A and B are shown apart, each in its own frame.
Chain A
Amino acid sequence: MAKTALYNLTDGGLQASLASLFRSMLEQGLVSAVMAPMRLSPGGGVMQTLVTDPAQMDMIDLFAPSFPLNAARLVSRLSKKPTGGTVAVVLRPCEIRAHVELVKLKQGSIDDLIVVGIDCPGAFNNADYGKIAADERAGFTDTFLSAVLSGETSFENGLQLSTACRACVHPVPHGADVSIGIFGIDIDKQFLLGAETEKGEGILDALGLSVTEAPDKRDAVIESLIATRETFRNEMFEATHEKTDTPEKLANYLSGCINCYNCRVACPVCYCRECVFVTDVFDHDPYQYLRWARRKGKIRMPTDTVFYHITRMAHISTACVACGQCSNACPNDISLMELFSMTAHATQAAFDYEAGRSLTDDPPLSVFKENELADVVEVKH
């Protein structure tokens, strides 16, 4: 990280201090708007909210373990064409990485943005968050943070963070202009502000923060967190592989699919204006269904479900950031994240590519190399 500063908490703790940080960014005119997770009403849920009025910054709740959608989709909407003002967008690391992929796909830009990344403590899946935080939403985030930072993995009623978050090896933002660090920091007293870009440094300077090194223990804390996550992830890959390594097993794995396409809507990098599966390409003639049924005597309806998932895998494997929103969106609880992140991990490794790593790495399928993947194409060179 290029430059860091420790931000000492004011009265009211972490949430209030963060609110005041963004408030002053708006007041000083450093940004025209801030988009951040915010409570919609004192007892309501948390959702990304675009704020222009400094006075309405109080309900900000950046670390709520609620992840209703991957905000890269929203940022794409804000930045696809000139925005008409600078917007600070507060994002989890997986949201930043998805946005990087979308920028490379010309679905967004970073020109008018100040990307503010947070150290991500993870989130529950939607259903679990609803259960666990039903009664005391406002105070829940603080309770959750202190538990998760002290190493707690199991919460009330034995609930755990979403599988995607437990398998996430990118808990710290990368590629943000400004980062907000909590790992290895005493968050009762302070949080860490970092600047990775010139834009970010400009913000830190303007806020008059003096440069301070991050506490020594921070790196070790992050390292150990990632190590735990990696172990979990690899076990998850192994188990998923075992469940899907033949066409029959794969069909079984996906047997609950009803072609609702929620996963494709929730996926931040599924960027098509209209999915090919709802275009004329898959608009079969009625007699086609009968032909298929005749071929084997029966055919599962709706058709094209496994085909749909395989196609989506082919389309997004190089851009998948493993945020888990596909699983979150599935009405029939298919473990899509496990399957897609496993495939994406292998695909990206094959091309020495990592989704969201850098704006300058060309997406593998847009680059032609005459001699590559020799083991796949079996050409001796």
Chain B
Amino acid sequence: MKPKIGRALVVGGGISGIRAALDLAETGYPVTLVDKAPHLGGILSQLDNQFPTNHCGMCKMLPLVERDAGSQYCLRKGLFHENIDIRTSTEVVGIEGEAGSFTVRLKKQPDFVNPETCIGCGECTNVCPVEVADDFNAGLGKRKAVYLPVPHMMPNTYVIDPAACTRCGECVGVCPTGAIGLFRQGRQDFSVLVVDDEYTVRDSIKEWLEEEGFSVETAASGEEALELLTRQTFKMVLLDIKMPGMDGVEVLKKTKEIFPEMAVVMMTAYATVETAVEAMKTGAMEYLMKPFDPEDLVSKVIAVYETQEASKGEQISAGTVIFCGGTSCYDPSVGKNTFGYKQYPDVVTGLEFERLISGTGPGSGGLVRPSDGKPVEKIAWIQCVGSRDLQSGSDYCSGICCMFAIKEAMLAKEHGPDNLEATIFYMDMRTPGKTFQRFRDRAETEYGVRFTRGRVHTVYQDDKTGKLLLSYPGDGSKRIESAFDMVVLSTGQKPASGAERLAEVGDCELNQWGFAATEPFSSAETKKAGIFLGGSFSGPRDIAESVISAGSASLLASVTLHATGGGMAEVVGDTPEYIDVSHQTPKVRVLLCECGSYGNVDLEIIAVSLKSDPAVEDVLTVPGVCTAEGWDALVKTAKRKGYNRLLLGACMPYAYTRRIKDLGAEVMLDPSLMDVVDIRTPWIISTDGIPNASATQQAIIRNLKSGVSRLIGIDPLPKSSVPVIRGALVVGGGVAGMTAALSIANHGYDVALVEKETGLGGNLDWLKNTIEGWDAAAFSENLQQRVEQHPKIGRHLNSTVISSFGEVGCFYTTIETREAAPVTLQHGVVIIATGGGEAGTEAYGYGKSPAVVTQKELEQKTFSKEIDYKTIDTVAMIQCVGSREEPRNYCSRVCCASTLKHILHMKKENPDLSIYVFYRDMMTYGFTETWFTEARRAGAVFIPYTVDARPEVMVEDGASGVSVTAYEPLLEARVQVNADLLVLATGIVPTLPVSLANAFGAGIDDDGFFMEAEPKWRPLDSLKEGVFACGIALGPRSITESVATAQAAAQRALRILSKTALSRASVTARVRHSLCSLCERCIDVCPYGARSVDIDMQRVLVNATMCQGCGNCASECPNSASVVDGFFDGRMLDMIDMVLD
């Protein structure tokens, strides 16, 4: 992929950071991705299962087009993309400049272990004497000071925790590749000048420091010191104050004149403390009192050294910055801690629970009590710990805890004994996602998870049984006490620990809840132009919402780069040219890294064995290829001709992806004809704990032979590509459609916007403002004007799509416009933004009395001032009318917020108005919770009901109002409300025509919404490439959320539109037509819709761009007529056969 001008910086390598970085990298921008942790993945690296699928699907975020540009393995292990420069253990310490040209200062933690040479053997960990709590396992279990931050990471480079490390040096001695000890190397370059008139003092200091690896020079007087300072470079000066001749303070002043940054530590006896204080004012860093403990002095020097190392910082230029700083988890041990967290070992947080049941967790996946290892039979989840809690300063809902608690309860049921009881104590079970309510129902009905409404105040431990006692409210005033083996606290999301500092660095603001503040109608825009927010940094979000907001941020970043001239203009780069070897007999050159001899294996014997294969041309050795010299030697050897396949026997094959590409360009051999085989891992073969050299040798030979066999079978085909029509079709002219159209058109691509109504605007025709008080009407008006004036957007009003055919890169779509002939448009991608509307109802007396209205009618009547709130006394509101139960068993997300908006408005108009809200669960996720609090403060009464006991509405003939009766659980009685106005929250239904979805090959879910390729990881894509959706077509959402989906969908589209042609990846399926019987089973099983049958040619065709190389077709095809390049059956059988030798 050719790079474009204009770099983006993404701060934070969790889900949203990875998404944003990939988005921009895939559109061709170079990206720098930094994370302060030593690994990517954020909190997701600790979570094995994600709701509502209860498994992981992170890899689905990997590139789907131009796949060869990036890694295609488990994303939890690591990420590689040729346009992404990943900097772990790195923080952003400064941002200057403005959108289009920021100068960013990065600070990297020093690498104590050289990632280039660490081979992940773990010898260092074995000898490390220091044990600290294991953060990866949420503090459960222990780890060493030198450790693997994530057990499944690739490359599996060890790191040292500088805070825990005692610098004992044990690990340095055992490291087979000398990867540890960089800090000693660095210390040699750190020269210290010791100035003291007393010989013994300066000499012993010299000795102490040299023992620690520092370079030391000494001076006996001030004059000598100044002389040395001008001749040599020093990083630090240790300076005695009281010296004959020029005294220390004088030397300090002169030194600071020449080297203002020099670190100077004064040394003094008690008598001259005042002088020392004086010296501090002159610029000394610190002073040490004589006589001093050698350890104190040495640790001072080390501290200065490490600070200087750490601040070595690097400056990079970036046109735009995205903050994806994530959140932190609430710590329940702070404050009153009524749940006894950290006090009772069996009280754990949600994250700790996930680690406990993880296969890579402290207990290797078994569900046992942390206190005594006994099996768990009864578990309670307590919701809203550190969320929806004014006492802990969290007047917001964390949004994810209800779902993860349900997931954990289901996992507990799966992992635990059959009689396991799982109970969730909750206030409102918040399931506001498209499939979440059904997930909850499944947990209850299929898994038998119990849901108990009520806030638990305290957890006690029964001293006799060790069990945990919970007391919670039953109906009315009754309290129930129950014993549990384990209590899981569903801890909420807090602003990230570094949020304040990062906001300061980026000159953005924090909102009242402590998260990064966003602009109205955006989840990504900040006050500062060019700096955007992705994921939960701007508020609690689940994975899907984080992915969407990251997409929104990357779109805005891309617009910034484009608009500030960074542009999409392509930099002309050299496309590597390869020699055509397709008609040559395979000749494999095997290069063995000499590190291999470490395990007492004989490379000579290995070479002889390999040469018995006639396809092996020669076997050569190179010195340690992980070192720079080794690599140079390898390149030199590879340049010698006489072969057409290259197999390298080394370690960590996945670390060579980029190097192999470079090597290919250098020796003009297609990188797909080169491969790396791990000849190091087999070293683990041992008999009775003693390494077995001959077995190891055999294993290495088998692996290498298998690798040779694979290479022989690779047949490099000329790269084909699919041309791209660089224009988009957007169906639907509501807020989502307009935003998507503008987002694409602002990159200079043509957009056809099709709207079936006479004007644009969609639901914003009637929706006038939001709960935040933002002016939706003005927002819509502004969007409409920008669309109308945009030269790249063609509007097709009164129009509908009647048919379409084609595939990603080129669709032909015919649209019909009222009173005009149909026209056919050609476009490369399509975005479906057909929206939705308010659901109709016949329940609760609707239609029988003018006093019963829907939320939409209320909005309209409020805006038109048809209702005068001053003249009425009582309003009743019923939530979830026809919602969250079959057949419309999903939450519409917006109705609860809408109810609160109206309550606050009505109360403002008439503070004496009585308002009763009948609800099942108030879905005020995120910051909306604050308005829920406000509405209750304003005096609105909230009465919960269940579907078994719904409110009853009586409409009497001639009466102006209605009466609502319902059971009130606190009063334990039925109450009757005589209301002048009854508002029904009926929810949202989609208006996505089946014919439209079918025309583009998009799926529709059971509720009529667009079916995403994957609900969490690919929330905007159809399984069919090139077809996307946004707004309510995807599922119910607010205006801000719709805008985010529209921008994110546009970003997905730009991956394709930014290229003139999409090239075929090296691992792609094809059909050997002479063998094909045209049974078409491969077409049925292709999950990406990449296959079709050409009736005229009597052939099955594969769209090389849509194909993801998954191999379903090849497995289904009985006679290998369908094959996946690089995985041809014959070769695979040979490879397997080789390792069985």
The answer to whether the Cβ of B303 comes within 8 Å of any Cβ in the partner chain is no
Q: Is the CB of A295 within 8 A of B1141?
A: yes
The answer to whether the Cβ of B133 comes within 8 Å of any Cβ in the partner chain is no
Asked whether A276 and B1118 contact (CB < 8 A) given A366-B1081, A368-B1085, A380-B414, the answer is: yes
Q: Is the CB of A272 within 8 A of B1119?
A: yes
Chain B residues closer than 8 Å to A288, beta-carbon distance = 1134, 1137
Q: How far is the CA of A105 from the CA of B1137 in the complex (A)?
A: 32
Interchain nearest-CB distance for A315 vs B (Å): 4
Q: Chain A 267-296, CB within 8 Å of chain B: the 1/0 string?
A: 000011111100111110101100100010
Chain A residues closer than 8 Å to B1141, beta-carbon distance = 291, 295
Asked whether A106 and B1120 contact (CB < 8 A) given A288-B1134, A380-B414, the answer is: no
The answer to whether the Cβ of A365 comes within 8 Å of any Cβ in the partner chain is yes
The answer to whether the Cβ of B1136 comes within 8 Å of any Cβ in the partner chain is no
Interchain nearest-CB distance for A251 vs B (Å): 17
Q: Which of B613, B1075, B1128 contacts A273 (CB 8 A)?
A: B1075
Interchain nearest-CB distance for A80 vs B (Å): 9
Q: Which of B613, B1075, B1084, B1116 contacts A274 (CB 8 A)?
A: B1075
Asked whether A106 and B1079 contact (CB < 8 A) given A275-B1119, A281-B1120, A366-B1084, the answer is: yes
Enumerate A137-188 residues with CB–CB distance to B below 8 Å.
none
The answer to whether the Cβ of A363 comes within 8 Å of any Cβ in the partner chain is yes
Q: Is the CB of B1081 within 8 A of A274?
A: no
Query: Which residue of chain B has the shortest Cβ distance to A363 in the bound complex?
Result: B1081
Q: Chain B 1065-1082, CB within 8 Å of chain A: the 1/0 string?
A: 000000000111111110
Asked whether A279 and B1119 contact (CB < 8 A) given A287-B614, A368-B1085, A380-B414, the answer is: yes
Q: How far is the CA of A363 from the CA of B1118 in the complex (A)?
A: 14
Q: Is the CB of B1077 within 8 A of A271?
A: yes
Q: How far is the CA of A134 from the CA of B1077 in the complex (A)?
A: 39
Q: Is the CB of B1118 within 8 A of A272?
A: yes
The answer to whether the Cβ of A107 comes within 8 Å of any Cβ in the partner chain is yes
Q: How far is the CA of A365 from the CA of B1129 in the complex (A)?
A: 19
Q: How far is the CA of A283 from the CA of B1130 in the complex (A)?
A: 8
Q: Is the CB of A273 within 8 A of B1081?
A: no
Chain B residues closer than 8 Å to A291, beta-carbon distance = 1141
Q: Is the CB of A107 within 8 A of B1081?
A: no
Query: Which residue of chain A has the shortest Cβ distance to B447 in the bound complex?
Result: A381
Q: Is the CB of B1116 within 8 A of A366?
A: yes
Query: Which residue of chain A has the shortest Cβ distance to B1115 in the bound complex?
Result: A365
Chain B residues closer than 8 Å to A274, beta-carbon distance = 1074-1075, 1119
Asked whether A279 and B1079 contact (CB < 8 A) given A287-B614, A288-B1134, A368-B1085, the answer is: no
Interchain nearest-CB distance for A311 vs B (Å): 8
Chain B residues closer than 8 Å to A280, beta-carbon distance = 1130
Hey, which bits of chain A sit against chain B, CB under 8 A?
Answer: 105-107, 271-276, 279-283, 285, 287-288, 291, 295, 315, 362-363, 365-366, 368, 380-381
Chain B residues closer than 8 Å to A107, beta-carbon distance = 1077, 1079
Chain B residues closer than 8 Å to A276, beta-carbon distance = 1118-1120, 1129
Other A-B pairs, 7, CB within 8 Å; known A273-B1074, A279-B1119, A281-B1130: A105-B1081, A106-B1080, A107-B1079, A272-B1075, A273-B1121, A287-B614, A368-B1087
Q: Is the CB of B414 within 8 A of A279?
A: no
The answer to whether the Cβ of B1133 comes within 8 Å of any Cβ in the partner chain is yes
- CB pairs A–B below 8 angstroms (22 shown): A105-B1077, A105-B1081, A106-B1078, A106-B1079, A271-B1077, A272-B1077, A274-B1074, A274-B1119, A275-B1119, A276-B1119, A280-B1130, A281-B1120, A281-B1129, A281-B1130, A281-B1133, A282-B1130, A287-B613, A288-B1134, A288-B1137, A295-B1141, A368-B1085, A381-B414
Q: Chain B 578-615, CB within 8 Å of chain A: the 1/0 string?
A: 00000000000000000000000000000000000110
Q: How far is the CA of A39 from the CA of B614 in the complex (A)?
A: 58
Chain A residues closer than 8 Å to B1077, beta-carbon distance = 105, 107, 271-273
Q: Is the CB of A365 within 8 A of B1075?
A: no
Instruction: State the 7 A-B residue pairs at the shortest beta-carbon distance, nearest first.
Output: A276-B1119, A272-B1119, A366-B1084, A281-B1130, A105-B1079, A315-B1118, A273-B1077
Query: Which residue of chain A has the shortest Cβ distance to B1118 in the bound complex?
Result: A315
Chain A residues closer than 8 Å to B1087, beta-carbon distance = 368
Q: How far is the CA of A336 from the CA of B686 in the complex (A)?
A: 45
Q: How far is the CA of A120 from the CA of B308 in the complex (A)?
A: 93
Interchain nearest-CB distance for B248 vs A (Å): 74
Query: Which residue of chain A has the shortest Cβ distance to B1079 in the bound complex?
Result: A105
Q: Is the CB of B1075 within 8 A of A279?
A: yes
Chain A residues closer than 8 Å to B1081, beta-carbon distance = 105, 363, 365-366
Interchain nearest-CB distance for A316 vs B (Å): 8
Q: How far is the CA of A281 from the CA of B1136 in the complex (A)?
A: 14
Chain B residues closer than 8 Å to A282, beta-carbon distance = 1130
Interchain nearest-CB distance for A129 vs B (Å): 31
Chain B residues closer than 8 Å to A287, beta-carbon distance = 613-614
Query: Which residue of chain B has the shortest Cβ distance to A295 in the bound complex?
Result: B1141
Q: How far is the CA of A273 from the CA of B122 in the complex (A)?
A: 54
Q: How far is the CA of A275 from the CA of B1120 in the complex (A)?
A: 9
Chain A residues closer than 8 Å to B1080, beta-carbon distance = 106
Residue from A271, A272, A283 having most chain B Cβ neighbours under 10 A: A272
Chain B residues closer than 8 Å to A273, beta-carbon distance = 1074-1077, 1119, 1121
Enumerate B1023-1080 residues with CB–CB distance to A below 8 Å.
1074-1080
Q: How far is the CA of A276 from the CA of B1076 in the complex (A)?
A: 11
Chain A residues closer than 8 Å to B1074, beta-carbon distance = 273-274
Chain A residues closer than 8 Å to B1140, beta-carbon distance = 295
Interchain nearest-CB distance for A84 vs B (Å): 18
Q: How far is the CA of A291 from the CA of B1074 in the complex (A)?
A: 31
Interchain nearest-CB distance for B1040 vs A (Å): 33
Query: Which residue of chain B has the shortest Cβ distance to A316 in the bound complex?
Result: B1118
Chain A residues closer than 8 Å to B1116, beta-carbon distance = 365-366
Q: How far is the CA of A285 from the CA of B1085 in the complex (A)?
A: 33
Q: How far is the CA of A275 from the CA of B1077 in the complex (A)?
A: 11
Interchain nearest-CB distance for A273 vs B (Å): 5
Interchain nearest-CB distance for B1132 vs A (Å): 9
Q: How far is the CA of A380 from the CA of B49 in the complex (A)?
A: 14
Q: How far is the CA of A149 from the CA of B474 in the complex (A)?
A: 76
Enumerate B672-719 residues with CB–CB distance to A below 8 Å.
none
Q: How far is the CA of A275 from the CA of B1076 in the complex (A)?
A: 10
Q: How far is the CA of A380 from the CA of B414 in the complex (A)?
A: 7
Chain B residues closer than 8 Å to A275, beta-carbon distance = 1119
Enumerate B1090-1132 residues with CB–CB distance to A below 8 Å.
1116, 1118-1121, 1128-1130
Chain B residues closer than 8 Å to A366, beta-carbon distance = 1081, 1084-1085, 1116
Interchain nearest-CB distance for A297 vs B (Å): 14
Q: How far is the CA of A295 from the CA of B1139 in the complex (A)?
A: 12
Interchain nearest-CB distance for B25 vs A (Å): 31
Chain A residues closer than 8 Å to B1120, beta-carbon distance = 276, 279, 281
Chain B residues closer than 8 Å to A295, beta-carbon distance = 1140-1141
Q: How far is the CA of A107 from the CA of B1118 in the complex (A)?
A: 14
Interchain nearest-CB distance for B801 vs A (Å): 29
Query: Which residue of chain B has the shortest Cβ distance to A366 in the bound complex?
Result: B1084
Interchain nearest-CB distance for B1062 vs A (Å): 26
Interchain nearest-CB distance for A120 vs B (Å): 27
Chain B residues closer than 8 Å to A363, beta-carbon distance = 1081
Q: How far is the CA of A295 from the CA of B1130 in the complex (A)?
A: 20
Q: How far is the CA of A275 from the CA of B1117 in the complex (A)?
A: 11
Chain A residues closer than 8 Å to B1079, beta-carbon distance = 105-107, 271
Query: Which residue of chain A has the shortest Cβ distance to B1138 in the bound complex?
Result: A291
Query: Which residue of chain A has the shortest Cβ distance to B1073 in the bound complex?
Result: A273
Chain A residues closer than 8 Å to B414, beta-carbon distance = 380-381
Query: Which residue of chain B has the shortest Cβ distance to A291 in the bound complex?
Result: B1141
Interchain nearest-CB distance for B441 vs A (Å): 16
Q: How far is the CA of A362 from the CA of B1116 in the complex (A)?
A: 14
Interchain nearest-CB distance for B420 vs A (Å): 13
Query: Which residue of chain B has the shortest Cβ distance to A104 in the bound complex?
Result: B1079
Interchain nearest-CB distance for B1095 vs A (Å): 10
Q: How far is the CA of A315 from the CA of B1119 in the complex (A)?
A: 9
Query: Which residue of chain B has the shortest Cβ distance to A81 in the bound complex?
Result: B1098
Q: How far is the CA of A96 from the CA of B355 in the complex (A)?
A: 57
